[in-house]
Amino acid sequence: MPIRHYLNNDGVYSPVDIRTMSMALDDVCKALRLDGHTAAKEAVAIRIIELAHRGERSPTKLRDRVLAEANGGTVC
């Protein structure tokens, strides 16, 4: 699922950044089995965008961070 749908004009992202965030969103949604859970997907997308806005550009790190947070872990 492309993350572009969830982007508000709160940042300028390159096509590579958008692809990276979209990859992370897809991976997290698959791992958490979020098919059909629109509100949960939106929450995940918003968190990924927040992390990217802070500078994270690795799809793997974005995915791992969001999954750790979803499982109750805290990651600095």
With 70 as the cut, is the pLDDT of residue 74 above it?
Answer: no
- Domain-located, residue 55: yes
- Domain-located, residue 9: yes
> Residue 26: which domain range?
3-70
- Domain-located, residue 25: yes
Distance CA 66, CA 63 (A): 5
pLDDT in tens, 24-73: 999 999 999 998 889 999 999 999 999 999 999 999 999 999 999 998 86
- Domain-located, residue 45: yes
- Domain-located, residue 75: no
- Domain-located, residue 76: no
Q: Per the structure block, which two tokens stand in for 22?
A: 């979209």
Q: Give the three-class secondary structure for 61.
A: helix
- Domain-located, residue 31: yes
With 80 as the cut, is the pLDDT of residue 11 above it?
Answer: no
Number of domains forming the structure of the chain: 1
